[in-house]
Amino acid sequence: MLRFPEGFRWGTATAAYQIEGAASEDGRTPSIWDTFSRVPGKVRNGDTGDIAADHYHRTAEDISLLKELGVTDYRFSVAWPRVQPSGRGPVSEKGLDFYRRLADALRDAGIRPVATLYHWDLPEELERAGGWPERRTAERFAEYAGLVADALGDRVATWTTLNEPWCTAFLGYGSGVHAPGRTEPVAALRAAHHLNLAHGLAVRALRAALPAGAEVSLTLNPHAVGALTGSDADRDAARRVDALGNRLFLDPVFHGRLPEDLVADTARLTDWGFVEGGDLAVIAAPLDSLGINYYAPTVVAAGSHDGPSPWPGAEPHVRFASTPGPRTAMDWPVDPDGLYGLLVRLRDELPGVPLVITENGAAYDDYADPEGDVHDPERVGYLRQHVGAVHRALGEGVDVRGYFLWSLLDNFEWAYGYGKRFGIVHVDFASQRRTPKDSARWYAQVIAHNGLTDG
Ligand code: FCB
């Protein structure tokens, strides 16, 4: 039996655009994902989030599922275009009411609501005005954060500003595989800085609006990056990916500085003149915890990468290597040691910062059998190993406070559409019928025992 500390938080995570649907109801305006998913060829099968898992209309049923699991916490995101339809100016009370009802119902069920303010659904109007590469988007975000905190601060005590700003900046504006689909290396670097700034300004707005004792956090997807070999060239490739994938966010947020090696690596592209005096101090506002999303490691070697890339400035020096071993349906390698190593690194680099695993999980090709059951032994295996890695890290003195499984429901997996299933509850998208998979029953046992009985 691998027992977790008393009070360890067990949750599941979702995101608004991936589950809510109701894309044009109650005054919601389009987000960049509504627009992007309509561009032919951008999302597999032409899928969109118009209906998704219809969570907007099935909230009560979904909260019952959470109750059956026995989670202590539930992480959801607030859709900016639902609560502030033009991305500036007045709020939509109808939009806010949805989240007020959600938070109330969770609390009635004894589940702590954990709100993320931005999980990738920028109001389309703000992208038309330039999007994240522009400084004013950061200012808009801080206003929005303050408004949502004013409206929900009496019922939600745990807040996250951004989810995975690396993806927003580099998949959205670098490789273009995510909305808004731009492939502009300098814009991607500008976006990364303005996301950091948006975070810092939002922390300030949240602290001003929330009661004392509220928890304010940020969720990153730090890359567990390793060099394929110990050669200098491979290690230099790993350093470059670490700079763009990790230190570009960790250094400003926790140390108030930009990584010098990254500024040098990207000198051909930009002089970083968009970083204004005082920005780094704003970005370094103290946080109560750091959220970590982890799925798979990143192994790199010296080489080059062609075509639009999420690694501006690093392309001529880096290739991404594939390693042997089991893989998920995303073709991502299964490597719990990557999570363990990341946690130990963060313990050393960020002393005194509590960590929370805000996402971890796996896609497999699940289906309901003739009896209506969904057996997903591979997912159970993946989860067991990763929860075990968290336990091992706790044993090494890493201060991990919680684990949120991605995801409660099968949902709209961004550019992969509905083809990739991450849920521990199966969703038949034609009927919207929910069926807990074997992994849901396994997770309920973990929560009930506060640990792994089969670890
Ligand atoms: C993360 C996202 C989340 C989900 C998982 C699989 O990068 O935050 O929305 O799509 O990947």
Neighbours of 409 (CB within 10 A): 22
Strand order of the β-sheet with 298-302 is 225-227, 298-302, 318-320
Instruction: Tell me the torsion sign for CA atoms 183, 186, 188, 194.
Output: negative
Helix (H) or strand (E) holding 60: helix 59-69
Task: Output the CA 221–ligand 1 centroid distance in Å.
Answer: 9
Residue minimizing CA distance to atom 10 of ligand 1: 413
Q: Is 293 in the pocket of ligand 1 (CB under 6 A)?
A: yes
Q: For residue 330, what pLDDT band results from cuts at 50, 70 and 90?
A: very high
The two tokens of residue 102 are 């959600």
Which of 167, 293, 412 maximizes ligand 1 atoms within 8 Å of its Cβ, making it the mutation to test the pocket? 293
Q: Which of 20, 124, 127, 164 is an active site residue?
A: 164
Give the global pTM. Answer: 0.98
- Between CA 418 and CA 434 the distance in angstroms is 15
* Residue 35 to residue 97: CA distance in whole angstroms: 25
Is residue 78 predicted with pLDDT exceeding 70?
yes
Q: How far is the CA of 52 from the centre of ligand 1 (A)?
A: 15
Q: Is the CB of 118 under 6 A from ligand 1?
A: no
pLDDT at 201: 99
Q: Is 406 in the pocket of ligand 1 (CB under 6 A)?
A: yes
Give the closest residue to 70 by CA, choosing from 4, 10, 1: 10
The first and second tokens of residue 172, run together, are: 């959205």
Q: Are 376 and 437 in contact (CB under 8 A)?
A: yes
Beta-strand runs (E) in 31-167: 73-77, 112-118, 158-163
Residue 326, helix vs strand vs coil? coil
Of all atoms in ligand 1, which is nearest to the CA of residue 221?
Answer: 7
Is the minimum distance from the CB of 413 to ligand 1 under 6 angstroms? yes
In angstroms, what is the span from residue 164 Cα to ligand 1's centroid?
A: 8
Q: Single out the catalytic residue among 124, 359, 378, 413.
A: 359
349 is catalytic: no
Task: Report the mean per-residue pLDDT for the chain.
Answer: 98
Model pLDDT for residues 13-30, shown as the tens digit of each residue: 999 999 999 999 999 999
Tell me, in angstroms, the distance from the centre of ligand 1 to residue 248's CA.
Answer: 20
Report pLDDT for 23.
98
Query: Once rounded to an integer, what is the mean pLDDT over residues 67-90?
Result: 98
Question: Radius of gyration of the chain from Cα atoms?
Answer: 21
Distance of CA 368 to the CA centre of its chain: 28
Confidence label for 308 from pLDDT (cuts 50, 70 and 90): confident
Tokens of 91: 């709020």
C-alpha neighbours within 13 Å on the C-beta side of residue 357: 32
**pLDDT tens column, 173-201:** 999 999 999 999 999 999 999 999 999 99
Q: How far is the CA of 443 from the centre of ligand 1 (A)?
A: 19
Percent of the chain at pLDDT > 70 equals 100
Residue 278 host element (H or E): none
pLDDT range class, residue 454, cuts 50, 70, 90: confident
> Tens digit of pLDDT for each residue in 407-436?
999 999 999 999 999 999 999 999 999 999
- The helix or strand, by DSSP H or E, that contains position 1, with its residue range, turns out to be none
* Ligand 1 contacts CB of residue 37 (under 6 A): no
Ligand 1 close to Cβ of residue 242 (< 6 A): no
Give the Å distance between the CA of 235 and the centre of ligand 1. Answer: 28
The predicted-structure confidence for 106-122, as pLDDT tens digits, reads as follows 999 999 999 999 999 99
Cβ proximity of 219 and 160 under 8 Å: yes
> 287 CA distance to ligand 1 centroid (A)?
22
Nearest CA to ligand 1 atom 9: 15
pLDDT mean over 255-260: 98
Which band of pLDDT confidence, cut at 50, 70 and 90, is reported for residue 455?
Answer: low
Q: Provide the pLDDT confidence category of residue 76 given band limits of 50, 70 and 90.
A: very high
Assess whether the C-beta atom of 422 lies below 6 angstroms from ligand 1. yes
What domains can be seen in the chain, in order of their start residue?
A: 15-449 (3.20.20.80)
CB environment 425-434: b (16+ within 10 A), e (fewer)? bbbeeeebeb
Ligand 1 contact via 414 beta carbon (within 6 Å)? yes
Whether residue 45 contacts residue 37, with contact meaning beta carbons closer than 8 Å, is answered with: no
C-alpha of residue 207 to centroid of ligand 1, in Å: 27
Q: How many helices (H) and strands (E) would you count in the chain?
A: 16, 15
* Long-range contacts formed by 431-434: CB under 8 A, 24+ apart: 432/53, 432/54, 432/58, 434/58, 434/61, 434/62, 434/65, 434/409
| 134 CB near ligand 1 (under 6 Å) | no
Residue 121 Cβ contacting ligand 1 at under 6 Å: no
Atom number, ligand 1, closest to the C-alpha of residue 163: 8
Indicate the pLDDT class of residue 305, thresholds 50, 70 and 90. Answer: confident
Cis peptide before 407 (omega within 30 of 0): yes
Helix (H, G, I), strand (E, B) or coil at 216: strand
Q: How many Å apart are CA 366 and CA 370, to the nearest integer?
A: 13
User: 359 CB under 6 A from ligand 1?
Assistant: yes
List the residue whose alpha carbon is closest to atom 4 of ligand 1: 413
